Amino acid sequence: MASSWLSFSLSFLLVLHGTFAQQRYQQQQGECQLNRLSPQEPTTRIQAEAGVTELWDQNNQQFQCAGVSLIRHVIQSRGMLLPSYVNTPLLAYVERGRGFYGIMQSGCPETFQSSQQMQQGERGAGSRFQDRHQRIGQFRQGDIIAFPAGAAHWAYNEGNEELVLVCLEDSSNNANQLGQFSRRFFIAGNPQQGQQQQGQYGGKSLRRERFESGNVFNGFDVEVLAEAFGVDREIARRLQGQDDQRGHIVNIQQGLRVVRPPFSQEQEEREERQEQGQYGPRMNGIEETICSAKVRQNIDNPSRADIYNPHAGRFTTVNSLTLPILSFLRLSAARGVLYRDSIMAPHWVTNAHKVIYITKGESRIQIVDHRGQAVLDDRVRQGQVVVVPQNYAVVKHAETEGCEWVEFNTNDNAMINTLSGRTSAIRGLPVDVIANSYQISRDEARRLKFNREETLIFRSSGRARSSERVAAA
């Protein structure tokens, strides 16, 4: 009897799992039936004391197809994004500025510590005050920073210019168990005090899904908080942030005083050499733990380019092979630069959706679906976003201004297949197959196959024949 019941239970669970899997598959299939793509701009703007957060519409079909959402934080000098955590993995690109950040994981050691002599009258002369906390990282323009799902984090702008962080949240990741949208949980402040603005962001009704209310302490009883932290009621009440009018980005007039090592130009150069394997043993990820994992890599330095053409531009990737934590997040990123009158070869990504954010200039982007229909043919300018679904063919053509962009991929090792150039699908075909496929002569087929010697980036005139340098991964 017990054996029969166990057999029935297992069969029921298998059927139930199959039903849910089929529903999820059908839902995802429907979400990516896109007849038209268009460049996207932020639809919601939330103002805080020391900065502003701009959000793209999570309900947009293109973002739902990719299963992601996009946020841009603009933080003023000496501004701090309050600690929070998200139900999804997050990749941040530092578009402009510099600063430092912290990622908190319960159980990780407090490896940053200090002590200092107290002033006369503070806890008695001669006493020492110590601070200990989890490690802090520093960032600069061009860095990609990886934040695991559920890991509390914060960021501070220590520079004299605005800090701009462009963040992708992957709500389709298995780490998210809360539905199709990302949700941000603040553990400090009172985010609902931020002012939502429409203005240039559209006249329709806008929602603030990710900044709807106060911090998580606000829902607990004050007495419970006081007991949990061993503090009085007033401090417990301050934890809840009910009287905090600053919003989610706050100004720190005197500057943030934390324990952190100095970060010099020499150190930056040493890190770049380590990333390129120029000295010392290369890390393979096995040595890392969740507490010690490297979470930052710069992709702006031309010397790190994977594809480089001095006459046309460059393309730099960061994936789980160069930043092992990305295998845990199942995300990757790339940085592209096209000079004037240059083209990134027509290509498709075999295993990921791609979200392209233009950081400078503009480019004519064409995207073609499985029916051979152009679902996008438009000039995409700075600050706009384009979603390229998996396997859709895309080509970029930078004209007078040139174009720079960062792209986020929903796979930790996104793979590109090209349609033209030295490593393309056309180059891999026999001449006779090309001639018969396109009804052209063998000479024409040969020219079609061999005319382009570059791999990915080339001048649009067709006259430039510069050799590309493919950097070792």
pLDDT by residue for the chain (473 residues), tens only, comes to 445 544 544 444 444 444 333 433 333 444 688 889 999 999 999 999 999 999 999 999 999 999 999 999 999 999 999 999 999 999 999 999 999 999 888 877 666 666 554 444 444 445 565 777 667 889 999 999 999 999 999 999 999 999 999 999 999 999 989 888 899 999 999 887 555 554 444 444 344 455 666 899 999 999 999 999 999 999 999 999 888 889 999 999 988 877 666 665 555 555 555 555 544 445 555 456 778 789 999 999 999 999 999 999 999 999 999 999 999 999 999 999 999 999 999 999 999 999 999 999 999 999 999 999 999 999 999 999 999 999 999 999 998 889 999 999 999 999 999 999 999 999 999 999 999 999 999 999 999 999 999 999 999 864 433 444 444 33
**Pick from 256, 271, 286: which residue ends a domain?**
256
Pair 142, 318: CB distance under 8 Å: no
Alpha helices by DSSP H, listed for 230-352, are 233-240, 265-275, 326-329
Flag whether 151 is in a domain.
yes
Flag whether 425 is in a domain.
yes
Number of domains in the chain: 2
User: Which residues are CB-neighbours of 5 under 8 A, at least 6 positions away?
Assistant: none
DSSP-derived secondary structure letter, 329 = H
Residues 195 and 48 in one domain: yes
Residues 321 and 381 in one domain: yes
Residues 71 and 190 in one domain: yes
**Host domain of residue 71:** 44-114+130-256
User: Sign (positive/negative) of CA torsion 119, 120, 122, 128?
Assistant: positive
**Pick from 203, 222, 256: which residue ends a domain?**
256
Pair 369, 344: CB distance under 8 Å: no
Pair 317, 352: CB distance under 8 Å: no
Residues 328 and 225 in one domain: no
Residues 97 and 192 in one domain: yes
**Pick from 256, 276, 307: which residue ends a domain?**
256
